Amino acid sequence: MRIAIAAVGRMKQGPERELATRYLERARAAGRPLALTGFDVLELPESRAASAEARRSEEARNLVALLPEGSGSPSTSTASPWPRRPSPSRWRAGATPAARR
């Protein structure tokens, strides 16, 4: 299985890029025994639209365009590719989802 990380904007040189590089190296090494064969980082250009809403829409379209065919894009399908999480009202008092595992 391949893992793709898509982000809007370009990461500049500095501590964040060094941490991301280190994380990807560790993920590649740890992923081999789990059949994770590759990690791709895709940096999309930031939108230059005039309004914030137009920028969000354009950047969202660019991210959705990267999804594999049939993955259930939110704009074309009501089915979500992500598992549903229970609403907070269904959690036991004082217990978070992490505490229940």
Q: What is the pLDDT of residues 21-55, one digit of tens each?
A: 898 888 888 888 888 878 888 889 999 999 999 99
| pLDDT number for residue 78 | 44
CA angle in degrees (0–180, nearest 5) for 31-33-37: 50
In a domain, 73, yes or no: no
24 within some domain: yes
3-state secondary structure of 41: strand
Residue 95 belongs to a domain: no
Q: 35: domain CATH number?
A: 3.40.1280.10
Rounded to the nearest 5°, which phi and psi values hold at 4? -120, 130
Whole-structure pTM value: 0.55
Q: Which residue has the higher pLDDT, 93 or 62?
A: 62
Specify if 93 maps to a domain.
no
Count up the domains in the chain and report the number: 1
- For residue 13, what are the domain limits? 1-68
Q: Does residue 75 form part of some domain?
A: no
